[in-house]
Structure 1
């Protein structure tokens, strides 16, 4: 079983979760983790499973304006945030918009602030919907991994992401 994990990350939390998901998948099969900025080079048809994740911005997937805002927030003199190298580049929404229709197994995850989803939204729901429109079959419900209001992962979320990755991969192995 071969899995591709594509992620978008602003401050590193979603990157950390993608790496944890990949460690979980690796207990079942082979895992390749790719930032969305390099995902255009990947042929998704050679993978048995495609897992896609990104941060929740204004109730859903990021947009150009929200990515620029995240980078600007990190550049503020009083900020303790550090933007990922490709944070201002194309996001998951853009990548999914460029993919060709295909069949295969997929799953979606996001990172979001630890508040009720009705208040924060969930990027994973939009990611999942786009994956289905492309012809993928979801093998798990969209999953959220939580950060605090300072954009730090909550305790236990990395371990939970590993378990989730293993569970998702086991469903198709």
Structure 2
């Protein structure tokens, strides 16, 4: 059983959170590989993989082509650098390409620090898509917060690392 953390990231925040989750999983004796959507496509998903999938929240949910283009256009204006994986495929399309399965999974997102009612949560959309494909969720969808200027809030990486460790405990408890 392998653990695969798959992320989409525009400005690098979701990428940082994915790495922290992977580190938390690995430190808790549940080795994880972290991949951008494009790299995950190339690797493929194996039947016994546990998926941990994350993306930034755009307009209350997963990004679309139009929101990704808008984010790229805004980056220079806000002195933000695009993540190397930002030009690759998005989580929405990758999830749509998955077949039916009976695997285990978890979902996370990054979103602006504000009530979820106002921001939405990409993790909820990811979780629904994973369930439709037959995955059983190991945890409630989780959000990691960024400032209004798209910087990770203090302690979010540490919180993501702990979330990864908590996931590891659940994964290890179900291993035969």
> Is the 2:7–2:18 contact (alpha carbons within 8 Å) kept by the matching residues of 1?
yes
> Is the 1:68–1:88 contact (alpha carbons within 8 Å) kept by the matching residues of 2?
no
Aligned twin of 1:55: 56
Shift of 1:106: 0.1
Structure 1: runs of 5+ lacking an equivalent: none
Aligned twin of 2:88: 89
Aligned twin of 2:168: 169
Shift of 1:28: 2.3
Structure 2: runs of 5+ lacking an equivalent: none
SS in structure 2 at match of 1:66: helix
Q: Which moved more, 1:143-152 or 1:41-50?
A: 41-50
Aligned twin of 1:2: 2
2-structure distance, mates of 1:7, 1:166: 18
> Is the 1:7–1:36 contact (alpha carbons within 8 Å) kept by the matching residues of 2?
yes
Aligned twin of 2:23: 23
Q: Which moved more, 1:159-168 or 1:79-88?
A: 79-88
Q: Tell me the TM-score normalized by structure 1.
A: 0.95
Shift of 1:89: 2.9
Question: Aligned ranges for residues 1-173 of structure 1 at < 5 Å?
Answer: 1-26=1-26, 27-76=28-77, 79-173=78-172
2-structure distance, mates of 1:61, 1:158: 21
Q: Which moved more, 1:126-135 or 1:80-89?
A: 80-89
> Is the 1:64–1:90 contact (alpha carbons within 8 Å) kept by the matching residues of 2?
no
CA displacement 1:113-153 (0-9 Å, x = unmatched): 00000000000000000000001000000000000001000
Shift of 1:99: 1.0
For these two proteins, the number of residue pairs brought into alignment is: 171
> Is the 2:107–2:140 contact (alpha carbons within 8 Å) kept by the matching residues of 1?
yes
Q: 1:32 to 1:46 in 2, by over 3 A?
A: farther
SS in structure 2 at match of 1:109: strand
SS in structure 1 at match of 2:171: coil
1-structure distance, mates of 2:165, 2:85: 27
> Is the 2:47–2:101 contact (alpha carbons within 8 Å) kept by the matching residues of 1?
no
